[in-house]
Amino acid sequence: MANFYTDNEDLKFHLTHPLMEKMVNLKERNFADKDIYDYAPVDFEDTMDNYDKVLEIIGEIAGDVIAVNAESVDHDGPVLANNKVDYAKGTQQNYDTLVQAGVVGISLPRKYGGLNFSIVPYVMSAELVARGDAGFANIWGLQDCAETLHEFASEEIKQEFLPRFNSEGVTAAMDLTEPDAGSDLQAVQLKATFDEKSGMWKLNGVKRFITNGDADVSLVLARSEEGTSDARGLSLFVYDRRENAMTVRRIENKLGIKGSPTCELVFTNAPAKLVGDRKMGLIKYVMSLMNSARLGVGAQSVGIAEAAYREALKYAHEREQFGKTIIEYPAVYEMLTNMKAKTDAIRTLLYETCRYVDIYKSYSFIAEDRSLTPEERNDFKHNQKIADVYTPLLKLFSSEYCNQIAYDSLQVHGGTGFMKDFPIERIYRDARITTIYEGTSQLQVVAAIRGVSNGLYLKILRENEQISVNPELDYLKHSLIKMTDQFAKAIDKVTATESAELYDFHARRLVEMAGNVIIGYLLLFDANRNDRFKKSADIFIRLGKTENTQKVSFINSFDVKELGYYKY
Amino acid sequence: MSFRIVVLAKQVPDTRNVGKDAMKADGTVNRAALPAIYNPEDLNALEMALHIKSKMKDAEVIILTMGPPRAAEIIRESIYRGADAGYLITDRKFAGSDTLATSYAVSLAVKKLAPFHLVLSGRQAIDGDTAQVGPQTAEKLNIPQITYAEEVVAVDETQITIKRRLERGIEVVKSSLPALITVHSSASECRPRNAKLLMKHKHARTVTELQEETRDYTELYNKRPYLQIEEWTVADLNADVEMLGLSGSPTKVKKIENVVLQQKETILLTEADKDIESLMKELIGTHIIG
């Protein structure tokens, strides 16, 4: 009897952010659906009540079903039989329960059978599911593919595929990676040829490391333009498993997220439909899909962090050594407090990023029906720009932190944590993938460094300085202003040498410095809205300040000539 | 004619997570300290009903619950899971009813829903643990009963085959319809609340509840008449007041005491008559039997 939504009041805090009213109004567009669908909300309060109640359903499933099944799912894993991937029994039960709850297609419009929820409650559902079982969060999160079809596919494809998500509970996969195209997706070779006779595209080739590869609906990145070798020759296709033209060659045996089937696929003359326009596959659609997937990994990471922190806290309260519970020792309580501060940190960045994404996406859907006013257009661009630089920052920080938190949680458990007797052993393994897939941490830095070079991070930080907070929190703001000055100086120092290589070399340091101040502000504003976050704000800013000073010290004492020491 | 399944469900205090303040000093249940929940085995019964509905061409699931006005929550919770409608049996005159008086009231309500094919309920409720209301209701309706049901083996318009979970094994029985079935906790868990059904029906209220609402529901209810939950009083059931409440309840609670079970000694018994006799004397003497 656990409900992962109602047992964590931080979630409701983020769900009820003041910006929510604007977001709901953009999403529900005068609540026109209320006259067509009996489950559509009539006003803002009604919408928020729906979000709250549906998250309560998902929180209950996460606590009572998904978390309970996690251990057996990790043990059993999926199996490949007769060219079909059979989920572990627990995985199937998890998914069936969510389908029965009618929550698949949570963010799709009602005309496609969805619930038309904002991205905030959608991502929150992913956090809840991931806290129950990180591996299962992938299967849940892959409904992002439906979102991509909704955004870019023709009406005909939308009508064909989208309603099946809610009514039948179809699952999805994004087939991008190939043996020679991992981080570098421009190298994708799977071939798409247009067959004049059938009027269909045919896919031929191999995909590797495909999460939930045997899904009902697959989005496949393929080379449609013969003779090309770069991103401009790639298009996106949608493949229906009922075509029976794809074989699953194997399921990978992995370190963690063992319940999530990672497949190698072979497409043989597989009929597929083109999504959107030719040549835009990677450049536009996959980039968008990847951004959603990165939000998904952000949610997954926060869910893992929450689970790991709770396991450690519980154990530290119970375990006695030298005559007292171990939580009474400074070495242990400091770890726990830092874990909590970091969990709060990545959660606030997660939902802040969601809000920017949600607003700009709502505008882009409105723009399909009518032209935006100049004011709306500016707001759209503003939100999109920030979403673009916050998403990689979120992916970087949340995945790295959830690994640190899982590491520390296992450490709090001592030798017991190394055994399979406690959930932390699984959580620790599950966490490891988050810094790797959907773009490694190193690639997130490549994306996020744009926020440093185009001055956007700095601009946001300077704007934050204008926002007043309770006097008792002024000392934190004062620290953040000093950290911003320090960050600005560090950028100047690195760019002064005009060495592109040095800039790349320090890129992660600069991005992390920016992140520490940005998150510091978010926690400060959270604390300003609710006292509960004061402790985490204080502790996180303390940690960030120390870390940034260290980085500056490294940058300042580093000469471009010394790059040679690091090269092979 | 649609295949009608009536589910008897009860709102109970959650006695599974009992804290320090679960009982009052006088030995009665402190309802304020225990959240009101859907009786767990009634949820198993609801699931079985919904399962049967999915097997039939044209079937409906109707919830009957008896209790104070707030028990309407049970009807909403059932509708969120797929039940078609529900009725709340509520009247101050029902207060103090034991299982006999309750089954009398419930059987009258079920008769009001005739013609019905099946009546399903949980085996027992976690507050009283009597397991009497289901069987007594079947007797009053004069229909066959199958208790401890775990699984529906087969069902059609005229008969049902049920697998029963008993202490030492399983038993498969067949009955004609209409019949009453009490469902065991080993039956399938109830499906979750469905998001769309919840959003559609979350404003469903009884007349009593509507009177307490600050918001005006008139317009909404004109547009969506299905939101109205019907209440049945003693008058609606044409019940004999003497057979309800305390006057209709032969059960009298003599005393409630806290019992801490502990093993103090072990007595070894042989098959000898005198050992058996001394055991019987002790069991009767301590009121364990007899």
pLDDT tens digits, one per residue of B98-126:
899 999 999 999 999 999 999 999 999 98
Q: Domain spans of chain B?
A: 3-243
DSSP-derived pairing of the beta strands A217-223 and A324-325: unpaired
**What's the rounded mean pLDDT across residues B15-35?**
72
Residues of B whose CB is below 8 A from A60: 192
Residues of A whose CB is below 8 A from B34: none
Residue B231: CB atoms within 10 Å: 17
The per-residue pLDDT for B193 is 98
- Banded pLDDT at B282 (limits 50, 70, 90): confident
The per-residue pLDDT for A256 is 97
The per-residue pLDDT for A231 is 94
Return the residue matching tokens 């006013």: A373
Written as one letter, the residue type at B199 is M
Give yes or no for a cis peptide into B135 (omega within 30° of 0): no
A326 and A332 in contact (C-beta within 8 Å)?
Answer: yes
Q: What whole-number distance in Å separates Cα of residue A191 and Cα of residue A267?
A: 9
- Banded pLDDT at B263 (limits 50, 70, 90): confident
Q: Report CB contact under 8 Å: A53, B202.
A: yes
Eight-state DSSP code of residue A108: S
Better pLDDT: B224 or A432? A432
The per-residue pLDDT for B215 is 84
Tell me the pTM.
0.93
Written as one letter, the residue type at B2 is S
**What's the rounded mean pLDDT across residues B214-236?**
91
| Tokens read off for B142 | 């004069």
For residue A141, the Cα-to-chain-centroid distance in whole angstroms is: 9
Rg of chain B (C-alpha set): 21
Angle at the Cα of B122 (from B118 to B124), degrees rounded to 5? 135
The per-residue pLDDT for B29 is 67
Helix (H, G, I), strand (E, B) or coil at A146: helix
pLDDT tens digits, one per residue of B140-175:
999 999 999 999 999 999 999 999 999 899 999 999
Return the residue matching tokens 């202490």: B167
Eight-state DSSP code of residue A367: H
Q: Which CATH superfamily is domain A455-563 in?
A: Acyl-CoA dehydrogenase, C-terminal domain (1.20.120.470)
Q: Report CB contact under 8 Å: B194, A53.
A: no
Biggest CA-to-CA distance, chain B: 79
Which of A407, A462, A396 has the alpha carbon at shortest distance from A435? A396
Better pLDDT: A275 or B248? A275
Q: What whole-number distance in Å separates Cα of residue B60 and Cα of residue B53?
A: 6
Preferred mutation among A37, A39, A66, A104 to probe B, highest tally of B CBs within 10 A: A39
Burial class (CB in 10 A: 0-12, 13-18, 19+), A246: buried
The per-residue pLDDT for B271 is 87
The per-residue pLDDT for B1 is 67
Residues of A whose CB is below 8 A from B198: 53-54, 57
Residues of A whose CB is below 8 A from B195: 39, 54, 57, 101-103, 106, 115
The per-residue pLDDT for B51 is 97
User: Which residues make beta-bridge pairs with B12?
Assistant: B37
Fold of the CATH domain A172-278: Butyryl-CoA Dehydrogenase, subunit A; domain 2 (2.40.110)
The per-residue pLDDT for B266 is 81
For each successive 10 residues of chain A (568 residues), what is the average pLDDT?
Answer: 95 98 96 95 96 98 98 97 95 97 96 97 98 97 95 97 96 95 92 93 97 97 95 96 96 97 97 96 92 96 98 97 96 98 98 97 94 97 97 98 98 97 97 96 97 97 97 98 98 94 97 98 98 97 98 96 94
Residue B40: CB atoms within 10 Å: 18
The per-residue pLDDT for A450 is 96
The per-residue pLDDT for B171 is 96
Q: Report CB contact under 8 Å: A57, B192.
A: yes
Better pLDDT: A417 or B14? A417
Helix (H, G, I), strand (E, B) or coil at A322: coil
State yes or no: pLDDT of B236 exceeds 80.
yes
**What's the rounded mean pLDDT across residues B190-216?**
94
Q: Report CB contact under 8 Å: B191, A100.
A: yes
CA distance A41 to chain B (A): 8
Residues of B whose CB is below 8 A from A1: 16-17
Q: What whole-number distance in Å separates Cα of residue A491 and Cα of residue A507?
A: 10
CA distance A157 to chain B (A): 24
Which of A354, A227, A347 has the alpha carbon at shortest distance from A279? A227
The per-residue pLDDT for B229 is 96
Size of interface A-B (CB pairs under 8 A): 46
The per-residue pLDDT for B26 is 63
Give the B-side interface with A, CB within 8 Å.
16-17, 191-200, 202, 220, 224
Residues of B whose CB is below 8 A from A97: 191-192
Provide DSSP, A20-69.
Answer: HHHHHHHHHTTTGGGGT-TTS-SSHHHHHHHHHHHHHHHHHHIIIIIHHH
Q: What whole-number distance in Å separates Cα of residue A29 and Cα of residue A147?
A: 19
The per-residue pLDDT for B18 is 72
What share of chain B in percent tops pLDDT 90?
67
Q: Report CB contact under 8 Å: B199, A101.
A: no
Name the average pLDDT for chain B.
Answer: 91
DSSP-derived pairing of the beta strands B228-232 and A262-275: unpaired
What does the H/E/C string look like for chain B?
CCEEEEEEECEEECCCCCCHHHECCCCCECHHHCCEEECHHHHHHHHHHHHHHHHCCCEEEEEEEECCHHHHHHHHHHHHHCCCEEEEECCHHHCCCCHHHHHHHHHHHHHHCCCCCEEEEECCCCCCCCCCHHHHHHHHHCCCEEEEEEEEEEECCCEEEEEEEECCEEEEEEEECCEEEEECCCCCCCCCCCHHHHHHHCCCEEHHHHHHCCCCCHHHHHHCHHHEEEEECHHHHCCCHHHCCCCCCCCCCCCCCCCCCCCCCCCCCCCCHHHHHHHHHHHHHCCCCC
Total count of residues recorded for chain B: 290
Q: What whole-number distance in Å separates Cα of residue A101 and Cα of residue A190?
A: 37
A48 and A234 in contact (C-beta within 8 Å)?
Answer: no
B12 and B127 in contact (C-beta within 8 Å)?
Answer: yes
| Tokens read off for B171 | 């038993």
A524 and A537 in contact (C-beta within 8 Å)?
Answer: yes
- Banded pLDDT at B287 (limits 50, 70, 90): confident
Count Cα atoms within 13 angstroms, Cβ side, for A4. 26
**What's the rounded mean pLDDT across residues B241-262?**
82
CA distances from residue B248 to A123, B99, B102, B128, B241 in whole angstroms, order as listed: 55, 10, 9, 18, 8
- Banded pLDDT at B127 (limits 50, 70, 90): confident
Residues of A whose CB is below 8 A from B224: 38
The per-residue pLDDT for A51 is 98
Give yes or no for a cis peptide into B13 (omega within 30° of 0): no
- CATH for the stretch B3-243: 3.40.50.620
For residue A232, the Cα-to-chain-centroid distance in whole angstroms is: 26
Q: Which of A40, A41, A53 sits opposite B198 (nearest CB)?
A: A53
Q: Report CB contact under 8 Å: B193, A101.
A: yes
A205 and A267 in contact (C-beta within 8 Å)?
Answer: yes
Q: Domain spans of chain A?
A: 172-278, 455-563
Q: What whole-number distance in Å separates Cα of residue A329 and Cα of residue A371?
A: 61
Q: Which of B192, B193, B200 sits opposite A39 (nearest CB)?
A: B200
